């Protein structure tokens, strides 16, 4: 089944995050797939090595087919360094990814997001003013000097800047464990944002007891915590989550095990803790891909992550291995889904005509310390 048949179902957080769909000029609406593909190819040929298209794993198939590189957000942002001659970086992903690309790009390069409405509900769960209040309250508790802030790469540039200015760093799902270990070598406590599940699951695997972790609710005074709770905590988790990965449940795992005896269940670490414990394995997107690709022929895998990635992996592995989504309805990232071939065509033909649409520019005040945080991440092994 084509992943294009899955339509996004937005929850309230996602609706608040992305707002209305970015309108396109009328001439880019209702185009046949074949015409769009031909025109995109023509625009790419005209722009030649002035252009690099990056596609996140969660993009719909109709868009990812045009990407020069496919990967997770930071892997894609780092690909820019391989193309210093490129003038235009078209990032088929969401807003925080394009921001990271702009932070890491050269001065002459312009980063473009095909649809400005492609946001991230998780990134929006950590607002700069909320983090300012949190840090002020930690100072009032006399604990800020004992805390190193760490932010998941799925966060706004302003959050990365805040963290970088205060001696913290950025992490990905691939290096979260190494980053937590680094953080505890710096100070006794870590403030981890914005995804509580990645932080909890990673620390738990490292042997940190759950009772040494607390959740900081930015909508409550002092995070809704007592001084004693913060004092005891080794890990302070921001109350945020991925709207895709929290849809996976233990019941889904039980159902797939009943339907496919011997199935191996592998999930992304952004899932809730009980789901992670019920699975056979977990890891980053790149880890999931490698594990399934390296598995013996004849094995069956239920994968708990975004459905477009799962379906592409299933097609790649067939018929030697069976790969299916842990969620039979398909957990789709509706914000990623907003980048369409129509939007891609519009921005590319704009570049050919000399018009730059949706240029993503991180303010200099954020870029300086966000770059420090990202560079610091690269030193952590």
Q: Which CATH superfamily is domain 245-325 in?
A: NadA-like (3.40.50.10800)
The answer for residues whose C-beta is within 8 angstroms of residue 114's C-beta and 6 or more apart is: 90, 92, 339, 340, 343, 344, 346, 347, 358
Every domain of the chain with CATH number 3.40.50.10800 lies at: 3-119+335-362, 123-243+367-378, 245-325
- Residue 308: which of 43, 15, 70 has the closest Cα? 70
Tens-level pLDDT at each residue, the chain (381 residues): 233 333 333 333 333 334 456 789 999 999 999 999 999 999 999 999 999 999 988 778 888 899 999 887 777 877 888 899 999 999 998 888 899 899 989 999 999 999 988 877 888 899 999 999 999 999 999 999 999 999 998 899 999 999 999 999 999 888 999 999 999 999 999 999 999 999 999 999 999 999 999 999 999 999 999 999 999 999 999 999 988 899 999 999 999 999 999 999 999 999 999 999 999 999 998 899 999 999 999 999 999 998 888 988 999 999 999 999 998 776 656 565 678 899 999 999 999 999 999 999 999 989 999 999 998 988 886
Going along the chain, which residue ranges are E strands? 51-56, 69-71, 88-92, 110-112, 147-152, 169-171, 189-193, 213-216, 235-238, 264-267, 281-282, 300-304, 322-325, 359-360
Q: Distances from the Cα of 74 to the Cαs of 262, 336, 364, in angstroms?
A: 34, 16, 20
What is the model's pTM? 0.84
d(CA 364, CA 339): 27
CATH class of 3-119+335-362: alpha beta
According to CATH, the topology of domain 123-243+367-378 is Rossmann fold (3.40.50)
């Amino acid at each position: 089944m084509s992943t294009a048949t899955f339509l996004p179902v937005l929850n309230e957080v996602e609706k608040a995050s992305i707002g209305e769909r970015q309108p396109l000029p009328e001439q880019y609406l209702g185009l046949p797939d074949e015409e769009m593909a031909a025109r995109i190819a023509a625009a790419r040929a005209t722009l030649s090595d002035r252009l690099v298209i990056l596609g996140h794993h969660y993009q719909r198939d109709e868009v990812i087919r045009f990407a020069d590189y496919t990967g997770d957000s930071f892997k894609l942002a780092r690909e820019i360094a391989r193309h210093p001659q490129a003038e235009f970086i078209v990032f088929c992903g969401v807003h925080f990814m394009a921001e990271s690309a702009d932070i890491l790009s050269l001065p002459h390069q312009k980063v473009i997001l095909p649809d400005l409405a492609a946001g991230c509900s998780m990134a929006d769960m950590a607002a700069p003013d909320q983090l300012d209040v949190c840090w002020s309250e930690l100072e009032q508790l006399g604990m800020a000097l004992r805390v190193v802030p760490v932010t998941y790469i799925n966060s706004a540039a302003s959050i990365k800047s805040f963290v970088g200015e205060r001696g913290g760093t950025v992490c990905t799902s691939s290096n979260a464990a190494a980053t937590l270990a680094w953080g505890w070598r710096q100070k006794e406590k870590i403030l981890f944002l914005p995804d509580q599940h990645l932080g909890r699951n990673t620390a738990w695997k490292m042997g940190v007891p759950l009772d040494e972790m607390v959740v900081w609710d930015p909508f409550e005074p002092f995070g809704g915590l007592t001084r004693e709770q913060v004092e005891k905590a080794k890990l302070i988790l921001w109350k945020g989550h991925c709207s895709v990965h929290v849809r996976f449940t233990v019941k889904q795992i039980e159902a797939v095990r009943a339907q496919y005896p011997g199935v191996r269940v592998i999930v992304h670490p952004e899932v809730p803790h009980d789901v992670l414990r019920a699975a056979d394995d977990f890891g980053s997107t790149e880890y999931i891909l490698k594990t399934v690709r390296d598995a013996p022929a004849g094995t069956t895998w239920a994968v708990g992550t975004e459905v477009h990635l799962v379906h592409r992996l299933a097609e790649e592995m067939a018929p030697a291995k069976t790969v299916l989504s842990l969620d039979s309805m398909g957990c789709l990232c509706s914000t990623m889904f907003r980048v369409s071939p129509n939007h891609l065509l519009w921005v590319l033909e704009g570049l050919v005509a000399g018009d730059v649409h949706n240029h993503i520019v991180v303010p200099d005040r954020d870029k300086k310390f966000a770059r420090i945080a990202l560079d610091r991440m690269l030193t952590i092994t």
